[in-house]
Structure 1
Amino acid sequence: MIVVLVETDLSGAAVEVSRETVAFARSLAEAGGGVPIDAVVVGEPSAGLAEQLAAYGVRDVHALTGEAFDAFSGAAWAAGVLGVRAAKNAVVVMAAGTPRGNEVMAHVAARAGVAMAANVLSFSGLSPFTVTRQVVGGAALEEMELGQRPAVFTVAGHAVEATPAPTPGVGNVVVERPVVDPADLVARVVSTEEPEPDLSGSLKSAKVVVGAGRGAGSADGFADLLELTELLDGSLGVSRVVTSLGWRPHHEQVGQTGSRISPDLYIPCGISGAIQHWAGCSSAKAILAINTDAEAPMVTKATYAVIGDLHEVVPAINAEIRRRRAG
């Protein structure tokens, strides 16, 4: 049996990367002869969430409830997941490769005394169970054998598509009330703050992403880039140096420590293309790089490239789009 930790958004629905992880679990279950998949969620799930997970092939939805789960604690969540794993004798425990997913699975693996594989892209065999995962910020791939049970790992974002199951599961809700050791609550979230409004939409689901790097020049150098983003009905994504300098908020960052995106078109402007940034955008279907350096890594890897100053090229693109739409 397979247990998947599922994260939810503010509306109570499963986030896309968790739905992708369930789809990954489904392919693994099919390879193993059709073993069942159970989900673990935190808090009382809505009827909509249970139906959503059933559509992806989930049998039971185990809801971790109680004061210990009112706020995030990696150790407490891991204790709850391990309780479900023990009760169901699951041979695989997995989650999406998000900050929370990686933290919880690290706790799960440590307590179970097994290795953990992070950012898995695929599996190539069941005996022995071998996975391929991203390492060095996505610059290299590594094959890793998970010979111990349970096999514990996280799935890289966009490794598979979030597709519903051909045959839906039951989606039966099982309320769990785990007893959590006070020591597991030493490190936990004590307060949250609302992020700054995302003026350019959701990065992870955007079909077009306009990227901005150091070449923007300053915090005041984004007007043309934001206009292009609006004209293309896309999202703005930035490099780590942009957020480090305080020019744009962190939730817009693309890369190893930011969002991993897979748009139809990515337009990185003034971004050199360091390994860490490439790890977040390499799944883009097409890349149009705008850069003054013809030898920049992003330019050499791009589908198309324009060699020039973004402050000259982007306004020209904007003007042409407006001209064609007006005609």
Structure 2
Amino acid sequence: MILVLVETSLAGDAVEVSREAVTFARDLSAAGGGVPIDVVLVGEPSASLVDELAAYGVRRVHALTGPAFEAFSGAAWASGVLAVRETAGSVVVMAAGTPRGNEVMAHVGARAGVAMAANVLSFGGLSPFTVTRQVVGGAALEEMQLSQRPAVFTVAGHAVEAAPADAPGPAEVVVETPAVAEADLVARVVSTEEPEPDLSGSLKSAKVVVGAGRGAGSSDGFGDLLELTELLDASLGVSRVVTSLGWRPHHEQVGQTGSRISPDLYIPCGISGAIQHWAGCSSAKAILAINTDAEAPMVTKATYAVIGDLHEVVPAINAEIRRRRG
């Protein structure tokens, strides 16, 4: 049996990367002869969430409840996942490659005494079970054998496209309250804050993303970029240095420590393309780079490039779009 940790949004539905992880699990199940897929999540799910997971081919939903699961704790969640795994007999335990998913699976692997593969893109042979994963911030790929059981890994964002099952059935809900040691609650979330509103839309699901880096110059240098974002009905994404300097909020950051995006078009402006940023945008279908440096990594990897100052190029693009739209 395959067990998938599913993360939910504040609205109570499964986050996109968790739906991708379940889709990945379904492909793995098919390769293994159709072994069942169960999911484990925190809190009692709504009827709509259960229906959603059932549509993705999930057989059973294990809901972790109790005081230990009221706030996030990587160790406590891992304890709950392992408790479900022991009763369900899972041979594979996996999650989406989010900060929480990677943390929980690292605890699961350590406690089970097996290796954990992070950011898996695909799987190969089943005997031995072989996976290909991203390493060095996505700059290289590594083939890794997971010969021990359970096989524990996380799925890289956008490794597969989330899709419902062809012939789904109903999903059973099992509410569980496993015992959690006090030591597992030493490190836990004690408070949360709402992020600043993303006025340009959801970055991770955007079809077009306009990127901004150090080349913006200052916190006042985003006017033309924001106009382009509005004209293209796009989202704004920025490099780590932009958020570090306080020019833009962190939720707009693209990269290894930010959001991983896969738009139809990414327009990075004034972004050199450090490996950490590339890890977050390499899944874009097309990249149009605007940069003064023709040798910048982002320019050399881009589908198309314009060599020039973004403060000259972007206003010209905006003017042409406005002209064509009358």
- What interval of TM-score do these two structures reach, taking the shorter chain for normalisation? over 0.9
**Other-structure match for 1:110:** 110
Matches within 5 A, 1:127-138: 127-138=127-138
Q: Distance in 2 between matches of 1:257 and 1:189?
A: 19
TM-score, normalising length: structure 2: 0.99
User: Alpha-carbon deviation of 1:170?
Assistant: 2.1
User: Alpha-carbon deviation of 1:220?
Assistant: 0.7
**Other-structure match for 2:10:** 10
- Matched position secondary structure for 1:315: helix
Deviations 1:265-284 (A, max 9, x none): 00000000111111110100
Q: Distance in 2 between matches of 1:28 and 1:165?
A: 13
**Other-structure match for 1:298:** 298
Q: Distance in 2 between matches of 1:19 and 1:88?
A: 21
Residue type at the aligned position of 1:270: G
Q: Distance in 2 between matches of 1:171 and 1:5?
A: 15
**Other-structure match for 1:224:** 224
Deviations 1:187-236 (A, max 9, x none): 00000011111121111100000000000000111111111111111100
Q: CA RMSD in A?
A: 0.6
Consecutive unaligned residues of structure 1, counting only runs of 5 or more, are none
Matches within 5 A, 1:144-155: 144-155=144-155
**Other-structure match for 1:47:** 47
User: Alpha-carbon deviation of 1:169?
Assistant: 3.3
Q: Distance in 2 between matches of 1:12 and 1:193?
A: 17
- Matched position secondary structure for 1:38: strand
In the alignment, structure 1 residue 276 sits paired with structure 2 residue 276: yes
Deviations 1:60-101 (A, max 9, x none): 000000111110000110011001100011000000000000
Matches within 5 A, 1:298-317: 298-317=298-317
Spell out structure 1 runs of 4+ moving beyond 3 A: none
- Matched position secondary structure for 2:72: coil
Q: Distance in 2 between matches of 1:170 and 1:97?
A: 27
Q: Distance in 1 between matches of 2:175 and 2:102?
A: 24
**Other-structure match for 1:241:** 241
Matches within 5 A, 1:1-327: 1-326=1-326
Q: Distance in 2 between matches of 1:39 and 1:125?
A: 24
TM-score, normalising length: structure 1: 0.99
Deviations 1:241-297 (A, max 9, x none): 111111111111111111110000000000001111111101000000000011111
User: Alpha-carbon deviation of 1:165?
Assistant: 0.5
Q: Distance in 2 between matches of 1:221 and 1:232?
A: 19
Q: Distance in 1 between matches of 2:198 and 2:253?
A: 12
- Matched position secondary structure for 1:149: coil
Consecutive unaligned residues of structure 2, counting only runs of 5 or more, are none
- Matched position secondary structure for 1:183: helix
Identity, % of aligned positions: 87
Q: Distance in 2 between matches of 1:320 and 1:47?
A: 49
Q: Distance in 2 between matches of 1:303 and 1:74?
A: 39
Q: Distance in 1 between matches of 2:226 and 2:72?
A: 34
- Matched position secondary structure for 2:325: helix
- Matched position secondary structure for 1:110: helix
Residue type at the aligned position of 2:106: A
